[in-house]
Amino acid sequence: MKKQHKTQLKAVDFFCSGGGMSSGMQQAGIKILAGIDYDNSCKETYEANIQGAKFIHADVFEYQEKELENALNLQRNDDDLVMIGCSPCQFWSIINTKREKSEKSKSLLTEFKRFVEYFNPGYVVVENVPGVLRRKEESGLEDFIHWLESHGYAVHHGVHNVMEYGVPQSRRRLTLIANRVNNNVLEPIKYKGKLKTVYDTIGEHNGFPKVAAGHRDETEFMHTVAGLKQINIDRLNITAKNGGSRMAYANNEELAPSCHKNDTVNFKDTYGRMWWDKPSPTITTKFFSISNGRFAHPEENRAISIREGAALQSFPLNYTIKASSIANAARMIGNAVPPKYAEAIGKAIIQNHRNAI
């Protein structure tokens, strides 16, 4: 006979940032007890959106298991508990060029493992860049998987593209789901409709009015756009709509950036426009800048706005973003787990839990 779990699943979200993972898990039906992060600038955004959850400002290198146990009145060996660890991934990212600045981040998975070992929860979720998998011994992933399996967890780990889960963005992520409630190996539940595109998400027809570079939106919608120098506006003026690139002026002595002059091979996405009919490229922490990737609007002569970046990450349009600057807002959004992807993970866990043997 199958044992029906009547109690609601609950979760603790380590390295929660502005709440992308918590938001998606909450939408799936999991109660979020708390989010933990060292960056206190995330607190307002997290608390404004993740209802009923505590924001715990702590450095995971110093925070102790007993402190968390007492703060949330957690029980050890709780089948209904989900522990989530989506640690900052700068050290393992293929696009990072200043690894010395992110050296400490490579050990965050090991610190998260300490809490998993202590609490032995029913479920464990880890989400990170694929680079963690490519170097799983150095990152601590190999040791973590071995510990989970040796303690009765059925473990899935693999690289998924979030566009297959209802997110209008191409973004490859390592995802680990560990389950010790039964022997089922769990994977995120795929979206059954067609791939979501930029056209499905932003543009006037989706409630995003046309604005110019440098526009400041003082409302909570935050359709705010970074400013551009005139030369960048001139570049966009001759860049084809809907997917055009800097190839339009690669050989133009006046418009081609000096580092890219006459270069038609490298960094083709830099200064490029998004395509309407495709998912967006990966939304990074620098999506507000056209010099950092294919982040120009498909038609308008500007980078995408803060709210457009959030929408392409699959945040709800009413998600409140509290930030002191465009860069701070973009960092929270770009670092986030896309909520729709988190929801797909949460639904897989809930489905399993309801029918656990």
229/32 Cα distance (integer angstroms): 43
Burial of 38 (0-12, 13-18, 19+ CB in 10 A): middle
Active-site residue flag, 259: no
Residue 37 CA to residue 56 CA, distance in Å, equals: 7
CA separation, residue 25 to residues 9, 30, 172, 214, 349 (Å): 10, 6, 19, 34, 10
Q: Which of 16, 42, 86, 89 is catalytic?
A: 89
DSSP state letter for 107: G
How far CA 94 is from CA of 89, 99, 150, 270, in Å, comes to 10, 10, 31, 16
Nearest alpha carbon to residue 214 among 232, 227, 200: 227
Write out 118-140 in H/E/C secondary structure.
Answer: HHCCCEEEEEECCHHHHCHHHHC
Q: Partners of 123 in the beta sheet?
A: 82, 179
| Rounded alpha-carbon distances, angstroms, from residue 178 to 150, 276, 341 | 12, 37, 17
Residue whose tokens read 């990170």 = 128
Residue 28 carries which side chain, given as an amino acid letter? A
Quick one: DSSP state of residue 36?
E
Bridge partners (DSSP) of residue 155 are 178
Enzyme catalytic residues: 89
